[in-house]
Amino acid sequence: MSDILHRILATKKEEVQLAKASVSQSTLEELAQASLTDANLKTRGFIHAIEQKIALGQAGVIAEIKQASPSRGILRNPFYPNLIAQSYAEHGAACLSVLTDEQYFKGCTAFLKEARNACHLPVIRKDFMVDPYQIYEARAMGADAILLIVSALSDQQLQEFESLAMQLHMDVLVEVHGAEELQRALLLKSPLLGINNRDLKTFEVSLQNTIDLLSDIPKEKRIVTESGILAKKDVDFMREHQVHAFLVGEAFMRAENPGQALEALFF
Protein backbone atom coordinates (compact mmCIF):
# COMPACT_ATOMS: atom_id res chain seq x y z
CA MET A 1 0.00 0.00 0.00
CA SER A 2 1.34 3.41 -0.94
CA ASP A 3 2.29 6.04 1.64
CA ILE A 4 -0.38 8.40 0.33
CA LEU A 5 -3.09 5.75 0.73
CA HIS A 6 -1.85 5.05 4.27
CA ARG A 7 -2.13 8.76 5.08
CA ILE A 8 -5.58 9.07 3.55
CA LEU A 9 -6.91 6.04 5.44
CA ALA A 10 -5.49 7.29 8.74
CA THR A 11 -7.10 10.68 8.17
CA LYS A 12 -10.37 9.04 7.18
CA LYS A 13 -10.57 7.03 10.40
CA GLU A 14 -10.09 10.23 12.41
CA GLU A 15 -12.76 11.99 10.36
CA VAL A 16 -15.26 9.19 10.95
CA GLN A 17 -14.74 9.36 14.72
CA LEU A 18 -15.35 13.11 14.65
CA ALA A 19 -18.44 12.65 12.49
CA LYS A 20 -19.87 10.09 14.90
CA ALA A 21 -19.56 12.64 17.71
CA SER A 22 -21.63 15.06 15.61
CA VAL A 23 -24.23 12.71 14.08
CA SER A 24 -24.79 9.30 15.65
CA GLN A 25 -24.75 6.14 13.57
CA SER A 26 -28.28 5.30 14.72
CA THR A 27 -29.47 8.62 13.29
CA LEU A 28 -27.76 7.85 9.98
CA GLU A 29 -29.26 4.37 9.93
CA GLU A 30 -32.74 5.90 10.25
CA LEU A 31 -32.00 8.41 7.47
CA ALA A 32 -30.62 5.67 5.23
CA GLN A 33 -33.72 3.53 5.70
CA ALA A 34 -36.00 6.51 5.09
CA SER A 35 -34.16 7.29 1.84
CA LEU A 36 -35.24 3.96 0.36
CA THR A 37 -38.83 5.17 0.06
CA ASP A 38 -38.16 8.87 -0.56
CA ALA A 39 -39.02 9.62 -4.20
CA ASN A 40 -36.06 12.01 -4.50
CA LEU A 41 -33.51 9.68 -2.92
CA LYS A 42 -34.49 6.16 -4.02
CA THR A 43 -31.64 4.38 -5.75
CA ARG A 44 -31.48 4.76 -9.53
CA GLY A 45 -29.68 1.57 -10.52
CA PHE A 46 -25.98 2.26 -11.03
CA ILE A 47 -25.04 -1.06 -12.64
CA HIS A 48 -28.25 -1.10 -14.67
CA ALA A 49 -27.39 2.29 -16.20
CA ILE A 50 -23.99 1.00 -17.31
CA GLU A 51 -25.48 -2.18 -18.76
CA GLN A 52 -28.12 -0.20 -20.68
CA LYS A 53 -25.42 1.79 -22.48
CA ILE A 54 -23.39 -1.30 -23.30
CA ALA A 55 -26.48 -3.13 -24.58
CA LEU A 56 -26.86 -0.29 -27.11
CA GLY A 57 -23.30 -0.87 -28.31
CA GLN A 58 -21.97 2.20 -26.51
CA ALA A 59 -19.38 2.63 -23.80
CA GLY A 60 -20.66 2.70 -20.24
CA VAL A 61 -18.97 5.83 -18.92
CA ILE A 62 -18.79 6.68 -15.23
CA ALA A 63 -17.94 10.37 -15.46
CA GLU A 64 -16.11 11.78 -12.47
CA ILE A 65 -16.63 15.07 -10.71
CA LYS A 66 -13.64 16.09 -8.62
CA GLN A 67 -12.10 19.42 -7.78
CA ALA A 68 -8.59 18.23 -6.95
CA SER A 69 -6.31 15.23 -6.48
CA PRO A 70 -3.25 14.65 -4.26
CA SER A 71 -0.99 14.16 -7.28
CA ARG A 72 -2.32 16.96 -9.52
CA GLY A 73 -3.62 19.60 -7.11
CA ILE A 74 -6.60 21.77 -8.11
CA LEU A 75 -8.09 20.50 -11.36
CA ARG A 76 -10.95 22.91 -11.85
CA ASN A 77 -11.69 26.40 -10.57
CA PRO A 78 -14.40 27.63 -10.43
CA PHE A 79 -16.07 24.31 -9.63
CA TYR A 80 -19.83 23.79 -10.06
CA PRO A 81 -20.85 20.12 -9.56
CA ASN A 82 -24.43 20.72 -10.73
CA LEU A 83 -23.35 22.21 -14.06
CA ILE A 84 -20.76 19.48 -14.61
CA ALA A 85 -23.37 16.80 -13.88
CA GLN A 86 -25.83 18.35 -16.35
CA SER A 87 -23.13 18.51 -18.99
CA TYR A 88 -22.22 14.85 -18.50
CA ALA A 89 -25.88 13.79 -18.65
CA GLU A 90 -26.46 15.71 -21.87
CA HIS A 91 -23.45 14.17 -23.60
CA GLY A 92 -23.87 10.46 -22.94
CA ALA A 93 -22.53 9.51 -19.50
CA ALA A 94 -24.07 6.42 -17.93
CA CYS A 95 -23.34 7.40 -14.33
CA LEU A 96 -21.56 9.95 -12.19
CA SER A 97 -18.71 9.53 -9.72
CA VAL A 98 -18.44 12.29 -7.13
CA LEU A 99 -15.47 12.70 -4.78
CA THR A 100 -16.60 13.43 -1.23
CA ASP A 101 -13.17 13.34 0.48
CA GLU A 102 -12.41 16.83 1.76
CA GLN A 103 -8.77 16.91 2.83
CA TYR A 104 -7.12 15.27 -0.17
CA PHE A 105 -9.61 15.83 -3.02
CA LYS A 106 -11.35 19.05 -1.92
CA GLY A 107 -14.70 17.26 -2.10
CA CYS A 108 -17.72 17.20 0.21
CA THR A 109 -21.08 15.51 0.59
CA ALA A 110 -22.84 18.63 -0.70
CA PHE A 111 -21.17 18.11 -4.10
CA LEU A 112 -22.77 14.68 -4.44
CA LYS A 113 -26.19 16.03 -3.54
CA GLU A 114 -25.85 18.94 -5.98
CA ALA A 115 -24.72 16.68 -8.82
CA ARG A 116 -27.45 14.11 -8.25
CA ASN A 117 -30.18 16.71 -7.97
CA ALA A 118 -29.06 18.32 -11.24
CA CYS A 119 -29.72 15.29 -13.47
CA HIS A 120 -31.23 11.81 -13.76
CA LEU A 121 -27.99 9.83 -13.59
CA PRO A 122 -27.12 7.44 -10.74
CA VAL A 123 -24.13 8.48 -8.64
CA ILE A 124 -21.35 6.60 -6.87
CA ARG A 125 -19.87 8.07 -3.72
CA LYS A 126 -16.13 8.07 -4.43
CA ASP A 127 -14.41 8.02 -1.07
CA PHE A 128 -12.29 5.81 1.15
CA MET A 129 -14.61 3.50 3.06
CA VAL A 130 -13.21 2.38 6.41
CA ASP A 131 -16.34 2.12 8.58
CA PRO A 132 -20.00 1.05 8.19
CA TYR A 133 -20.91 4.57 9.31
CA GLN A 134 -19.83 5.91 5.91
CA ILE A 135 -22.07 3.45 4.09
CA TYR A 136 -25.16 4.57 5.97
CA GLU A 137 -24.00 8.14 5.35
CA ALA A 138 -23.66 7.45 1.61
CA ARG A 139 -27.23 6.19 1.32
CA ALA A 140 -28.59 9.00 3.48
CA MET A 141 -27.04 11.57 1.12
CA GLY A 142 -28.52 9.82 -1.92
CA ALA A 143 -25.62 7.75 -3.25
CA ASP A 144 -26.66 4.94 -5.59
CA ALA A 145 -23.37 3.06 -5.22
CA ILE A 146 -20.18 3.03 -3.18
CA LEU A 147 -16.55 2.26 -3.92
CA LEU A 148 -14.67 -0.42 -1.99
CA ILE A 149 -10.89 -0.38 -2.44
CA VAL A 150 -9.52 -3.87 -1.88
CA SER A 151 -6.05 -2.68 -0.82
CA ALA A 152 -7.64 -0.60 1.96
CA LEU A 153 -9.78 -3.29 3.56
CA SER A 154 -9.60 -6.80 5.01
CA ASP A 155 -11.60 -9.64 3.46
CA GLN A 156 -14.01 -9.47 6.39
CA GLN A 157 -14.52 -5.74 5.95
CA LEU A 158 -15.05 -6.13 2.20
CA GLN A 159 -17.76 -8.71 2.73
CA GLU A 160 -19.39 -6.79 5.57
CA PHE A 161 -19.39 -3.48 3.70
CA GLU A 162 -20.67 -5.03 0.46
CA SER A 163 -23.49 -6.80 2.29
CA LEU A 164 -24.53 -3.60 4.06
CA ALA A 165 -24.49 -1.58 0.85
CA MET A 166 -26.65 -4.15 -0.90
CA GLN A 167 -29.09 -4.20 2.02
CA LEU A 168 -29.43 -0.46 1.46
CA HIS A 169 -30.12 -1.07 -2.28
CA MET A 170 -26.77 0.36 -3.36
CA ASP A 171 -24.48 -1.15 -5.96
CA VAL A 172 -20.78 -1.69 -5.24
CA LEU A 173 -17.74 -0.98 -7.40
CA VAL A 174 -14.88 -3.15 -6.12
CA GLU A 175 -11.49 -1.68 -7.08
CA VAL A 176 -8.27 -3.64 -7.53
CA HIS A 177 -4.77 -2.76 -8.66
CA GLY A 178 -3.22 -6.17 -9.35
CA ALA A 179 -3.52 -9.95 -9.45
CA GLU A 180 -3.41 -10.57 -5.70
CA GLU A 181 -6.16 -8.04 -5.00
CA LEU A 182 -8.19 -9.45 -7.88
CA GLN A 183 -8.35 -12.88 -6.25
CA ARG A 184 -9.71 -11.27 -3.07
CA ALA A 185 -12.24 -9.22 -5.03
CA LEU A 186 -13.56 -12.31 -6.79
CA LEU A 187 -14.82 -13.59 -3.42
CA LEU A 188 -17.41 -10.80 -3.42
CA LYS A 189 -20.86 -10.83 -5.01
CA SER A 190 -20.77 -7.53 -6.86
CA PRO A 191 -20.53 -7.93 -10.65
CA LEU A 192 -18.83 -4.52 -10.96
CA LEU A 193 -15.04 -4.85 -10.90
CA GLY A 194 -12.85 -1.78 -11.26
CA ILE A 195 -9.24 -2.13 -12.38
CA ASN A 196 -7.16 0.91 -11.53
CA ASN A 197 -4.34 1.41 -14.01
CA ARG A 198 -2.43 3.68 -11.64
CA ASP A 199 0.39 2.10 -9.62
CA LEU A 200 -0.20 3.15 -6.02
CA LYS A 201 3.52 3.22 -5.26
CA THR A 202 4.85 5.10 -8.27
CA PHE A 203 1.61 6.77 -9.48
CA GLU A 204 2.58 5.74 -13.01
CA VAL A 205 -0.31 4.74 -15.25
CA SER A 206 -0.40 1.82 -17.69
CA LEU A 207 -3.48 0.54 -19.51
CA GLN A 208 -1.70 -2.81 -19.75
CA ASN A 209 -2.65 -3.33 -16.11
CA THR A 210 -6.26 -3.94 -17.13
CA ILE A 211 -5.29 -6.17 -20.06
CA ASP A 212 -2.98 -8.33 -17.93
CA LEU A 213 -5.82 -9.23 -15.54
CA LEU A 214 -8.53 -10.04 -18.10
CA SER A 215 -7.80 -13.75 -18.43
CA ASP A 216 -8.37 -14.29 -14.69
CA ILE A 217 -11.77 -12.57 -14.56
CA PRO A 218 -15.02 -14.58 -14.91
CA LYS A 219 -17.36 -13.59 -17.74
CA GLU A 220 -20.12 -12.57 -15.32
CA LYS A 221 -18.07 -9.67 -13.99
CA ARG A 222 -18.43 -6.24 -15.58
CA ILE A 223 -14.96 -4.76 -15.84
CA VAL A 224 -14.51 -1.02 -15.36
CA THR A 225 -11.12 0.30 -16.43
CA GLU A 226 -9.98 3.29 -14.37
CA SER A 227 -7.25 5.92 -14.94
CA GLY A 228 -5.25 6.63 -18.06
CA ILE A 229 -8.09 6.91 -20.58
CA LEU A 230 -6.97 10.08 -22.33
CA ALA A 231 -7.48 9.59 -26.08
CA LYS A 232 -9.80 7.78 -28.48
CA LYS A 233 -7.08 5.22 -29.15
CA ASP A 234 -7.20 4.29 -25.44
CA VAL A 235 -10.94 3.72 -25.65
CA ASP A 236 -10.58 1.69 -28.85
CA PHE A 237 -7.79 -0.38 -27.30
CA MET A 238 -9.97 -1.31 -24.34
CA ARG A 239 -13.07 -2.04 -26.38
CA GLU A 240 -11.07 -4.30 -28.72
CA HIS A 241 -10.36 -6.33 -25.58
CA GLN A 242 -14.08 -6.38 -24.65
CA VAL A 243 -13.74 -3.81 -21.89
CA HIS A 244 -16.72 -1.50 -22.37
CA ALA A 245 -17.05 0.33 -19.02
CA PHE A 246 -14.82 3.25 -18.07
CA LEU A 247 -14.29 5.58 -15.13
CA VAL A 248 -12.80 8.86 -16.34
CA GLY A 249 -12.37 12.14 -14.52
CA GLU A 250 -9.18 14.13 -14.84
CA ALA A 251 -9.32 14.36 -18.64
CA PHE A 252 -12.78 15.95 -18.38
CA MET A 253 -12.14 18.17 -15.37
CA ARG A 254 -9.53 20.16 -17.29
CA ALA A 255 -11.81 20.65 -20.31
CA GLU A 256 -13.83 23.84 -20.81
CA ASN A 257 -16.99 21.76 -21.28
CA PRO A 258 -16.66 18.37 -19.53
CA GLY A 259 -19.64 16.83 -21.31
CA GLN A 260 -18.41 17.78 -24.75
CA ALA A 261 -15.00 16.33 -23.87
CA LEU A 262 -16.72 13.08 -22.85
CA GLU A 263 -18.68 12.90 -26.09
CA ALA A 264 -15.57 13.58 -28.17
CA LEU A 265 -13.69 10.80 -26.40
CA PHE A 266 -16.36 8.10 -26.44
CA PHE A 267 -19.01 8.78 -29.08
Contact 94, 49 (CB under 8 A): yes
Catalytic residues: 64, 66, 126, 175, 196, 226-227
| Angle at the Cα of 52 from the Cα atoms of 95 and 195, rounded to 5 degrees | 55
In the three-class reduction of DSSP (H, G, I as helix; E, B as strand; rest coil), residue 55 is classed as: helix
In the three-class reduction of DSSP (H, G, I as helix; E, B as strand; rest coil), residue 97 is classed as: strand
- Count Cβ neighbours within 10 Å for each residue of 168-204 and write b for 16 or more, e otherwise: bebbbbbbbbbeebbebbeebebbbbbbbbbebeeee
Hey, how many other C-beta atoms are within 10 angstroms of the C-beta on 2?
15
Q: Is the dihedral of CA 129, 42, 69, 267 positive or negative?
A: positive
Contact 245, 222 (CB under 8 A): yes
